[in-house]
Amino acid sequence: MRAAPMSTPTPAPSPSLELILITGLSGSGKSVALRALEDAGYYCVDNLPPELLTQFVELEKERGEFKMAIAMDSRSASSLPLVPAQLERMRSVGVDIRLLFLDTKTQTLVQRYSESRRRHPLSKFAGNNTDVERDLVQAIHLERELLSPFREMAHIIDTSLLRSNQLQTFIKSLVFAPAAQLTLIFESFAFKRGIPVHADYVFDVRMLPNPYYENALKELTGRDAPVADWLGEHSSVNQMCQHIQTFLNHWLIELSKDHRSYVTVALGCTGGQHRSVYLVERLGQLFSKNWVTLTRHRELELLQAPKS
């Protein structure tokens, strides 16, 4: 009998390469973000010189690392313009790239530097005269200017009101969202604490009926059934939800074609407790049928999170 020819085994597909690039202002939490990513299984490097980005990724891939996180900051400002072209080349060969930019209000940064007594990395002027220094606010403004191109490219995370453990939790939730898909983030907030600087779209829902003035609902939140039932009975609330849904349905497909990893939709009311929370939960449920969706409640997280 003639032996049957042996079939050639199909080689296993190569694992996809994931790269998370973190930039942002000094003191905004890049080290905290890297620790979170390290806990999530990423090989992390802080302050990698931009000139070495492509070579480093190729080297680590040869060594069997397929999940990497790299932080770059203003200390490499002169070489940062090299990065966009390198990222585009890596995308063209299938590398899944996510860009995160950590931002913080200047007042908050001044307070953090005052408490830590650290020097800002841009406090000294370039040149031979090492006795001349910028004050802290000048250094922060300069850093914002130097990093502005990356802010435009990245998903922005405002860490002004986030404690370290909150930032780590949020970073992990972003990372565990499926790769190579647009992730839609709905976030509630209170206007009295300021608009989230990282939001791509902001909707003001303060004109809607307010459960705060109902004694039985005042201490509850938009995640509680009595508040949800009360708001759901108002036509203006349902109309607002429908209008936001229609707008996003029209534009999300176009956004997903533009190399967007994340889109943040922020909804604000006076206290960030009832109306905005309810609509975030409702929209999150509606869009989760077709999109990777996360929900956040900034003011509720501030109240619930333990101090770090």
Domains, in order of start, for the chain: 18-175 (3.40.50.300), 183-304 (no CATH)
- Answer whether residue 217 shows pLDDT above 90: yes
Mean pLDDT computed over every residue of the chain: 87
pLDDT at position 305 is: 57
Q: What is the pLDDT of residues 124-183, one digit of tens each?
A: 765 545 556 788 899 999 999 989 888 888 899 999 988 898 899 899 888 887 655 789
pLDDT band, very low/low/confident/very high, at 15 (cuts 50, 70, 90):
low
Q: For the chain, how far is it from start to end, CA to CA, in angstroms?
A: 75
Q: What would the mean pLDDT of 238-248 be, rounded to a whole number?
A: 97
pLDDT band, very low/low/confident/very high, at 13 (cuts 50, 70, 90):
very low
Q: What would the mean pLDDT of 21-48 be, rounded to a whole number?
A: 93
3-state secondary structure string across the chain: CCCCCCCCCCCCCCCCCEEEEEEECCCCCHHHHHHHHHHCCCEEEECCCHHHHHHHHHHHHHCCCCEEEEECCHHHHHHHHHHHHHHHHHHHCCCEEEEEEEECCHHHHHHHHHHHCCCCCCCECCCCCCCCECCHHHHHHHHHHHHHHHHHHCEEEECCCCCHHHHHHHHHHHHCCCCCCCEEEEEEEEHHHCCCCCCCEEEECCCCCCHHHCCCCCCCCCCCHHHHHHHHCCHHHHHHHHHHHHHHHHHHHHHHCCCCCEEEEEEEECCCCCHHHHHHHHHHHHHCCCCEEEEEEHHHHHHHCCCC
- Answer whether residue 14 shows pLDDT above 70: no
Give the count of beta carbons closer than 10 Å to the beta carbon of residue 59.
Answer: 11
Q: What is the pLDDT of residues 128-140, one digit of tens each?
A: 455 567 888 999 9
pLDDT band, very low/low/confident/very high, at 12 (cuts 50, 70, 90):
very low
The answer to whether the CB of 280 falls within 8 A of the CB of 190 is no
Q: What would the mean pLDDT of 2-17 be, rounded to a whole number?
A: 52
Q: Which two tokens stand for residue 21?
A: 């690039």
| Cα–Cα distance list, 149 to 24, 92, 154 (Å) | 11, 21, 9
Q: What would the mean pLDDT of 224-237 be, rounded to a whole number?
A: 98
- Answer whether residue 201 shows pLDDT above 50: yes
Q: What is the pLDDT of residues 62-113, one digit of tens each?
A: 888 889 999 998 887 778 888 989 999 998 888 888 999 999 999 999 999 8
- Answer whether residue 11 shows pLDDT above 50: no
Compute the half-sphere exposure of residue 259: CA atoms within 13 Å on the CB side of its CA: 15
Torsion of CA 127, 130, 135, 140, to 10 degrees: 50
Higher-pLDDT residue of 278 and 180 is 278
The answer to whether the CB of 158 falls within 8 A of the CB of 269 is no
pTM here is 0.75
